[in-house]
Structure 1
Amino acid sequence: MPHSSFLASVLLLATACVPLGTPITDPNAARGGQQRPPEYYADKTLRYEDYTYSPDVRSVQCYVATGQNTEIFQPPVVPLSQQQPIVLEFDLLGSGSERLTAKLVHCDADWKPSVLTDMQFLNEINEFLITDYRTGVNVKVPYYHYRMQVPRVKISGNYLLVVQGAGNTPVLTRRLLVYQSGVEIAIRQGIPVAGQERYTMQQVDFSIGYGGTNLVNPSQEVKVMLRQNFRWDNAKTNLRPTFVRDAERRLDYQYFNFENAFPASSEFRYFDMRSLRVAGAGIAELDPTAAPRAVRLSPEATRNGQAYSQFDDINGQRVFESREYGNGATNGDYANVTFQLRAAQPAPGPVYVFGALTDWQLKDEFKLTYNAEQQQYTGTALLKQGYYNYYYVVGKTAGAPDDVYFEGSHQETENQYDLLVYYRPPGTRADLLIGYQMLDVNSRRP
């Protein structure tokens, strides 16, 4: 799905960002002209996850600055050398800027704050004023675009980047990973040991060699996490080795009950909103005179039960760009985007638009409403000008949402996987990220 040659053209001047919104008619609206959904933004308690605490904060992107066109697709994961920094970009809706600061919180493997003091992982005071911000240019929805480079840290592990506003109230959090190469990881695509599942699931087998590192009781103390498309909501955790080869100093992870298998789903749906004058792919109707501008996507249908369809996507990500003026960071405007999904009957749960545009979360702004007479789900969200990937998913009471109900699942789908390996040395007080490796399944890059 991700960084094919197709992406280079999708990318052109991309910077800044992530998602959200619903049309506004309420007098108690947010500064950017959007209604404040009560549930999602009501609780300002700090969460140790990717989260947005204010409806004014939009279009968040956190990536590694590689200097390449595809850098915005690089997850915030860097080696301990940190030669290429992690960058955070986001918009703050409204006609006035705010004083925002950021800090880092070192976390354990389970994303709980560690007991380390700031000076044990930083060389400077743990408060960073965000001074790089610019106003949106010639836009109907006013905003300020903020950008910051994350400071270097001294040890590997999990870090939570917290952006704070007045009164140290959190407005935005993002998970960051800094790893060291303490082990050798061999990772490959496996074959699910079953019947029908081999056509719908993707299994990832891997082994961890620790010949160059003295690990104490590695079979119990080494913690691993396996992710699909850099998502946290459906990550595989608490995986224990199936074979411990002490003589070879290697741990093998090859399961038989789908512990390390994921539904492959399908290539992501997409629409092209890089122009707000001419309707792009996936757009049925565009009103450039509205304020905010109005975009209606083409009606869509379920893909479950259909044959696999191959095309290049960007694994659920999005690119912010203005084809008219370039530089989507400050020249991209916002638009009310209406999604339309045909369904003969209601799904067995609430239906949402889902992807990086929602932080891989079920957000109120992206919940769709079913019209029985029209046999269609619809919903409107405020999104920044750009190119988007997304799924339609069904929310569940526990666990990751069901993206197979509307999208289907095919083992031919291109997906990215990455493996995180943690270890806490005896006598220390924090989990170190001692290994990291990526795998592109069904890659179509030359």
Structure 2
Amino acid sequence: MLRYFLPAALLTTSACVPLGTPITDPNAPRGSQAQRPPEYYADKTLRYEDYTYNPDVRSVQCYVATGQNTEIFQPPVVPISQQQPIVLEFDILGNGSQRLTAKLVHCDLDWKPSVLTDLQFLSEINEFLITDYRTGVNVKVPYYHYRMQVPRVKLSGNYLLVVSGAGGVPVVSRRLLVYENGVEVGIRQGIPVAGQERYTLQQVDFSISYNGLNLVNPSQEVKVMLRQNFRWDNAKTNLRPTFVRDAERRLDYQYFNFENAFPASSEFRYFDMRSVRTMGAGMAELDPTTAPRTVVLSPEASRNGQSYTQFDDINGQRVFESREYGNGATNGDYANVTFRLRADQPAPGPVYVFGALTDWKLQDEFKLTYNVEQKEYAGTALLKQGYYNYYYVVGKPSGAPDDVYFEGSHQETENQYDLLVYYRPPGTRADLLIGYQSIDVNSRRP
């Protein structure tokens, strides 16, 4: 799939001698060699966010089935017509299949469950048995691959798709968005009003025309959320319009204190593990004889303070594919992948690998350990065969992690932004998603 748009330059890499060996856990469940500590999964309470609740659940993807080669990069956001459905795919490690069911939860704009009954947003019983599953073929790490198409809903808004196993215990949850075109959204790249910030930040200005709505207090009734690369962890919320143009029935959002600006960071790092027989880009060592296979990545360095380097990335996403057998869904195998990051001194906080491969969360499995003698961070995670984007980030006590410390920030970076517009009509009990628009800043695609 990815081969249609990856540049040839990404297909080569230089080799080096690895400084460590991958860590395996012989007691990991079902032969998974999982690295995530059990504490991460101890609490099975449902979270209204993108989350996995079982260490055997891997390689979760939720996207819009457009029929194109790049469909897996389409976030789970669809118009109310839902002509192209949302699809959920994931693996569960082990030799046996499981009985899994799914349901939808309608949520308010702040991702708390709404008071709506199932029949108010669905036309069928809110329990869906997942019957599309297949076993992994010719793999050293056994797994079953599950796939389901999300049913159509009657209302726009926020939805949480919850997959549960035996006893109703949640297995995986994913946020979905269904929007209607109740307002007209205009979105454009702005320029940060400052000095040095204009070289490191990207600002997104936007406006909302509400001719079709009878609003009494539009600045309070309309709620918006701004995201970068479809992430939730650093989304901008509680944005109020800077100008309310009653005569034109338009709200303008153009700030001067960086309320709608994001660190642009750099293009995502990458490695190519679509083959488990030959080394791809970013790989320094491959041992196909171990179970799971062992991959050690080339040591990397901080990019903070360096000049901007342009190359095509996939904005933190990943693609599962097998160069040997084709279909990555069931032919892709798993490998223990060791990440290595050189650093002369420890960072001012814990260091993680970060991106779609971690659900955009600071997961313990992807936390790196600093070696004082080698002056290097290293850590190992179990990953499916494919092509990956990622950052190295520094965790903070609160808020989004710091990706500038190791990655730097350049306004030339290509990033995607999208705007969510919510409104609760008087007398109703649900927040509707009445507008949606996205923009690709510094796009290099034709």
* Counterpart in the other structure of 1:201: 201
Matching residue's letter, 1:237? T
* Counterpart in the other structure of 2:173: 173
2-side partners of 1:51 and 1:8: how far apart?
35
1-side partners of 2:369 and 2:411: how far apart?
31
3-state DSSP class of the match of 2:337? strand
Matching residue's letter, 1:110? D
Are the equivalent residues in 1 in contact too, given 2:36–2:365 (CA < 8 A)? no
Cα deviation for residue 218 of structure 1 reads 1.3
Q: Give CA-to-partner distance per residue, 1:69-109, whole Å, 9 cap, x none.
A: 00000000000000000000000000000000000000000
What TM-score do you get using the length of structure 2 for normalisation?
0.95
Residue-pair matches, total? 434
* Counterpart in the other structure of 1:19: none
2-side partners of 1:86 and 1:353: how far apart?
27
* Counterpart in the other structure of 1:294: 294
Cα distance change, pair 107–439 in 1 and its aligned pair in 2 (3 A): same
Equivalent residues in 2 for 1:107-122 (5 A)? 107-122=107-122
Equivalent residues in 2 for 1:353-372 (5 A)? 353-372=353-372
What TM-score do you get using the length of structure 1 for normalisation?
0.95
Matching residue's letter, 1:142? P
Are the equivalent residues in 2 in contact too, given 1:7–1:70 (CA < 8 A)? no
Q: Does 1:87 align with 2:119?
A: no
2-side partners of 1:444 and 1:25: how far apart?
43
Cα deviation for residue 31 of structure 1 reads 4.8
Cα deviation for residue 23 of structure 1 reads 4.2
Cα deviation for residue 213 of structure 1 reads 2.3
* Counterpart in the other structure of 1:145: 145
2-side partners of 1:36 and 1:195: how far apart?
43
Cα deviation for residue 303 of structure 1 reads 0.1
3-state DSSP class of the match of 1:289? coil
* Counterpart in the other structure of 1:16: none
Are the equivalent residues in 2 in contact too, given 1:201–1:409 (CA < 8 A)? yes
Matching residue's letter, 1:263? P
Structure 1 stretches lacking a partner, 5+ long: 11-21
3-state DSSP class of the match of 1:368? strand
Task: Detail structure 1 runs of 4+ shifted over 6 Å in the superposition.
Answer: 7-10
Cα deviation for residue 154 of structure 1 reads 0.1
Equivalent residues in 2 for 1:11-410 (5 A)? 23-27=23-27, 29-35=29-35, 37-410=37-410
Cα-Cα RMSD: 1.6
2-side partners of 1:35 and 1:315: how far apart?
25
Return 34-43 or 65-74, whichever deviates more.
34-43
Matching residue's letter, 1:430? A
Q: Give CA-to-partner distance per residue, 1:148-174, whole Å, 9 cap, x none.
A: 000000000000000000000001000
Are the equivalent residues in 2 in contact too, given 1:3–1:70 (CA < 8 A)? no
2-side partners of 1:6 and 1:38: how far apart?
37
Are the equivalent residues in 2 in contact too, given 1:3–1:314 (CA < 8 A)? no
Cα deviation for residue 4 of structure 1 reads 9.0
Matching residue's letter, 1:274? R
Q: Does 1:432 align with 2:432?
A: yes
Are the equivalent residues in 2 in contact too, given 1:4–1:444 (CA < 8 A)? no
Cα deviation for residue 217 of structure 1 reads 1.6
Q: Does 1:423 align with 2:420?
A: no
Cα deviation for residue 256 of structure 1 reads 0.4
1-side partners of 2:303 and 2:265: how far apart?
10
Cα distance change, pair 181–93 in 1 and its aligned pair in 2 (3 A): same
Are the equivalent residues in 1 in contact too, given 2:63–2:72 (CA < 8 A)? yes
2-side partners of 1:420 and 1:7: how far apart?
33
Cα deviation for residue 35 of structure 1 reads 4.8
Structure 2 stretches lacking a partner, 5+ long: 11-21
Are the equivalent residues in 2 in contact too, given 1:228–1:415 (CA < 8 A)? yes
